[in-house]
Amino acid sequence: MTDFSVENVIIGAGVVGLALGYHLSEKNKEILILEKENDFGKITSSRNSGVIHAGLYYPKNSLKRKLCVLGNKLVYEYCKKNHIPHINTKKLIVASSNDQIEIIENLKKQAEINEVEGVKNISQNEVKKIEPLIYCEEALLVPSSGIVDPIVYMRSLVGKIENTGNMIAYKSNIKKINYDGNNFNLLIQNTDNKEETIIKCKTLINSAGLFASDIANKIEELKKEFIPKTFFGKGNYFNINKDLGIRHLIYPVPNEFSLGLHLTPELDNSVKFGPDFEWVDNSNDYTVNINKKEIFINEIKKYLPDLDTSSLSPSYAGIRPIIEKNDQSKRDFNIQTVDIHSIPHLVNLFGIDSPGLTSSLALAKHIESLLS
């Protein structure tokens, strides 16, 4: 069994672990990212909408609001500087009936409170001019929303991490963690040859997404009262593989569970619809049930009434890690440090669901500030 030491270990090469790895690497920190899959970003970070959110939906004092608004700017800056495919498409949130107008009015007020700039009402006629296929009574235009290619973005982060001499160790499954008062000792098993390695580190960041609670449960010294249960909220997508001429993100008003079954234009101008929301027990089942097609059609037709749905096909699914099951308004990123669990140099990231992609670089800065 080999045995070696490194200053900082990040568990998870999803977009958040990679953004943090990049940020710390830029500060000349020695880091190792441990990832159980054979490549980066294979779980939630490549199974999302790829939307750069503006930050208007979340309560003012939430981490989601703070990190999304900052993250939005940071992701655009990073993409421009590093030639990552992205488009500032802007977003229309559409009231498809008169009783939804009050909801978009409230969203506009929330946008002002949240310091999301430039959000404005636009009339049915104005919507018709910019998106002739979209039906609504009224809409909100959100100028800072957009889309990004999450895979190219993550590949760029990986390149920058590796250029500094830091590493990502793939096929590394965490079996056991203990804290000896100074260091964390991690027992790692290679998922191919089952070889075991012990890695010692000063600082440990648990960025394991859907499995962050499982990882936390492996830390022998961490009291169970600090480990929330992670629930799984599956989101399915359907797509149409042709250019409908729609260039804005089109969102219905949000519902009790999610932002609603929205339309996202892809970078190649095809369109996808979703995600919907369903609680699941299995965190590995990404099949999209074809029987959902009728439900999708009913929802899409509310804002896109003339859509030819014959080519609407099941596409992919992603799973949200959710730690607050009942009250969506309380669903925030949950970042636990020594102040909460009393173990120095340990950061646990729980409930990093949407807008985790948008917030990734802001989360990285925030975590670094917590560590120092």
Q: Which is nearer to ligand FAD, 31 or 138 (CB)?
A: 31
- Residue 85 Cβ, how far from ligand FAD at the closest point, in Å? 15
Do residues 143 and 90 touch, judged by C-beta distance below 8 A?
yes
How many CA atoms lie within 13 Å of 14's alpha carbon, on the beta-carbon side? Answer: 26
Sign of CA dihedral 206, 212, 215, 217: positive
- Residue 207 Cβ, how far from ligand FAD at the closest point, in Å? 5
Closest listed residue to residue 141, CA positions, set 255, 76, 54: 54
- Residue 276 Cβ, how far from ligand FAD at the closest point, in Å? 9
- Residue 237 Cβ, how far from ligand FAD at the closest point, in Å? 8
Instruction: Estimate the crossing angle of helix 63-82 against helix 150-163, to 10 degrees.
Output: 80
Q: How many residues does the chain have?
A: 372
Calculate the CA 155 to chain-centre distance: 16
Pairing status of strand 31-34 against strand 167-169? parallel
- Residue 123 Cβ, how far from ligand FAD at the closest point, in Å? 27
> Quick one: tokens of 191?
């998922």
Do residues 146 and 87 touch, judged by C-beta distance below 8 A?
yes
- Residue 79 Cβ, how far from ligand FAD at the closest point, in Å? 13
Contact residues for ligand FAD (CB under 6 A)? 11-17, 34-37, 41-45, 47-51, 53, 172-174, 207-211, 215, 235, 275, 318-320, 352-358
130 by Cβ neighbours in 10 Å (0-12 / 13-18 / 19+) ranks as middle
Rounded to an integer, what distance in angstroms lies between the CA atom of residue 138 and that of residue 36?
47
